[in-house]
Amino acid sequence: MLQQLEEIRQQTIVALENVLDLETLQALHSQSVGKKGQITQVLRMIGQLLPDERPRVGQRANEIRQELEIAFSERESIIKSYELARSLEEGAIDVTLPGRSIATGKLHPATQTLRRIYKIWAEMGFQVYRSPDVVDDETNFTLLNMPAHHPARDMWDTFYTTQEGILLRTHTSPGQIYAMQEYAPEPVRIILPGMVYRYEQVTARSELQFYQVEGLAVGRGIRMTDLKGTMTAFARRYFGEERKMRFRCSHFPFTEPSVEIDIECILCDGEGCNVCKYTGWLEIAGAGMVHPVVLRNGGYDPTVFSGFAFGMGPERSTMLRHGIEDIRYFWGNDLRFLEQF
Ligand code: DAH
């Protein structure tokens, strides 16, 4: 009987070494040490032995059962850790796969241009001043030295509202009046960016709405040379040090004298092309010395104070820089266009 027990022990230990899954382990367990297993079966026959042999066999059976139970639980933890490793391997992430990129929003090309412009003017000490898009006739025209029926009003085709005398600003120049009335008699040095509106046919070259960046400097002793020097400094930073520029005589009711500022064409470097209409020059701004009437309307004494002003259209330079041929893309909200910037 002892011999039988030793064989069960030996066979079970050998079998255990080849068990690779919990199911087989369970089956082997009930077959050998389980309630109805081989060891139990051997012990059932213990009654056939002589009484003084029984304790030795019983004791040995218990030892073997204990030893095997330990061997089973050791095998069980080996199988479990092996299965864990296998499932980790199967579910593992392949870190060499290319990632999926997340679509991010971008700044509108006009906003990007405006920010570049703000930065340059900020470095020259010009603060941003915000003024309303909806203004009265008085501020958009009259106080800028264009009384009712003044022919210069025809320079801008205007969107009027249903309320008498209230309109969408046709230019950012009325912002000069708001700013001067707020600050006079203190000196001011500001830029006034914003949307302007014109009642015009929409074409590849003209839109109902576009940005302007107005500038205004008022103080004592400001002269035309300050205007020229300041605009030259701006153009050098914005268009590059080498870019030539010129000041042409012009006329605006709110400045005297008035100029228009051109830069050498950035596409043909002044050679002449269809963008500059074979002149070699591109207009970038209107400007001039603030008219004494406008200074007075803003609250400054024109015998003491003087100033310069300018107005430019940033979309145009964005179009030139990126080779955009149709201004309607700016407000068409087509992502295929916007995502390129
Ligand atoms: N307001 C003008 C326009 O819309 C641009 C302009 C010209 C603004 C001369 C100025 C200026 O401040 O001095 O065409």
pLDDT in tens, 224-255: 999 999 999 999 999 999 999 999 999 999 99
Percent of the chain clearing pLDDT 70 (strictly above)? 100
Residue nearest to atom 4 of ligand 1 (CA): 171
- More confident of the two residues 174 and 324: 174
pLDDT at 220 over 80: yes
pLDDT (0 to 100) of residue 299: 98
pLDDT (0 to 100) of residue 46: 85
241-250 burial code (b ≥16 CB/10 A, e <16): eeeebebeee
**C-alpha 214 – ligand 1 centre gap (Å):** 7
**C-alpha 310 – ligand 1 centre gap (Å):** 6
Scanning the structure block, which residue is given the tokens 């059932």? 44
- 15-33 confidence digits (pLDDT tens): 888 888 889 999 999 998 8
Residue nearest to atom 5 of ligand 1 (CA): 311
pLDDT (0 to 100) of residue 221: 96
**C-alpha 326 – ligand 1 centre gap (Å):** 23
The residues spanned by each domain of the chain are 2-90, 109-338
Residue 288 CA: nearest ligand 1 atom is 13
**C-alpha 134 – ligand 1 centre gap (Å):** 18
Residue 196 CA: nearest ligand 1 atom is 4
State the architecture of 109-338 in CATH terms.
Answer: 2-Layer Sandwich (3.30)
**C-alpha 173 – ligand 1 centre gap (Å):** 6
pLDDT (0 to 100) of residue 234: 96
What's the pTM?
0.71
Ligand 1 pocket mutation pick from 190, 214, 258 by most atoms within 8 angstroms of CB: 214
Residue 172 CA: nearest ligand 1 atom is 1
pLDDT (0 to 100) of residue 86: 86
Measuring from each residue's beta carbon to the nearest atom of ligand 1, which residues come in under 6 Å? Answer: 171, 173, 214, 252, 255, 286-288, 309-311
